[in-house]
Amino acid sequence: MSNKNPPAFTRRVYIFNFLSLTISILILAFSWAATALATSDSKIEMGISEYKKTDGNHAIIRPKRERKSTTDHSKLKELQGPFFSGPEVTKACLECHNTAGHQFMKNKHWTWDYKHPKTGQHLGKSVLINNFCTNARGNEGMCAQCHAGYGMDSSDFDFTNQGNIDCLVCHESTGTYYKTPTSKGNKACSIMFEGKPAIDWTKIAQSVDMPSRSNCGKCHFYGGGGDNVKHGDLSSVLFDPPKAVDVHMSEA
């Protein structure tokens, strides 16, 4: 008589062992998840609630911090306006900051151009092809919303004219400043600019302060046309993140 187990019995043993192993793994996984949640900020629902601290204009909804600037620009006669465009504000800025324009025109935020000092490589947004947005050439109208200048709509932009510098993109502190494309793009992109209020140029000019995370984030958190689109580690949550998201940038 054979000592081998019948096939049906063997299958039942295999199924029982498989189910036991699966249940054990699930128990361990749930235990780990429960521990992680218990030690993290219970108020954070990842992917949802951390974005509630920003509004449609990417303005931070929190008490305004003490000003960093040593000058209250709202009291300067040069900024009493009225202003009706960005270049008008720039002209007023340069009347006092009379060397800032030439200094800034050496900055990569302006040139979009960089030559590596060791390799001689020609780099920068104006010439480089990346694996997400490919290249800005031919699409300057959309890309230039994050250029620290006014009027870039082609590769013929005048980088020698300091009157084209956009001071506000890095220095305004109202959270209401925005830029629209300088050239016509796909109609689908127009939804990005629907319903935006008119810019109060005088109010924004008088708000200038030292650059903050809010200024940087408007471009770097929304690169590629949306929140967290281009850079997987940069999103609007970093305007005011809880420790559970970024322990270094959190002020909690």
Domain count, the chain: 1
pLDDT (tens digit, 0 to 9) for every residue of the chain, 252 residues total?
555 555 666 667 667 677 777 787 777 666 665 555 444 444 433 333 333 444 444 444 444 556 667 889 999 999 999 999 999 999 999 999 999 999 999 999 999 998 899 999 998 888 887 767 778 887 787 888 889 999 998 888 999 999 999 999 999 999 899 888 777 666 666 666 677 788 999 999 999 999 988 899 988 998 887 888 888 788 899 998 999 888 888 887
In a domain, 233, yes or no: yes
**What does the buried/exposed string (b/e) look like for 40-49 if buried means 16 or more CB atoms within 10 Å of the residue's CB?**
eeeebeeeee
In a domain, 20, yes or no: no
Nearest to 127 by CA among 117, 116, 118: 116
The two three-digit tokens of residue 15, written as one number: 């199924």
- 35-38's contacts with Cβ under 8 Å and 24+ in sequence apart are none
- The number of residues making up the chain comes to 252
Contact assessment for residue 203 and residue 162, using Cβ atoms and an 8 Å cutoff: no
The neighbouring-strand residues paired with 60 are 54
In a domain, 37, yes or no: no
Cα 160–chain centre separation:
27
Range of the domain at 200: 52-239
User: What is the rounded CA–CA span in Å between residue 11 and residue 7?
Assistant: 6
In a domain, 159, yes or no: yes
Nearest to 208 by CA among 72, 100, 88, 102: 72
The neighbouring-strand residues paired with 130 are 134
pTM here?
0.70
User: What is the rounded CA–CA span in Å between residue 157 and residue 77?
Assistant: 32
Q: Give the count of alpha carbons within 13 A of 195, CB side only.
A: 4
pLDDT at 161: 96
In a domain, 45, yes or no: no
User: What is the rounded CA–CA span in Å between residue 96 and residue 73?
Assistant: 11
pLDDT at 182: 76
- 178-182's contacts with Cβ under 8 Å and 24+ in sequence apart are 178/57, 178/218, 179/144, 179/145, 179/146, 180/145, 181/141, 181/142, 181/144, 181/145, 182/140, 182/141, 182/144, 182/151, 182/152, 182/153
In a domain, 164, yes or no: yes
In a domain, 225, yes or no: yes
In a domain, 61, yes or no: yes
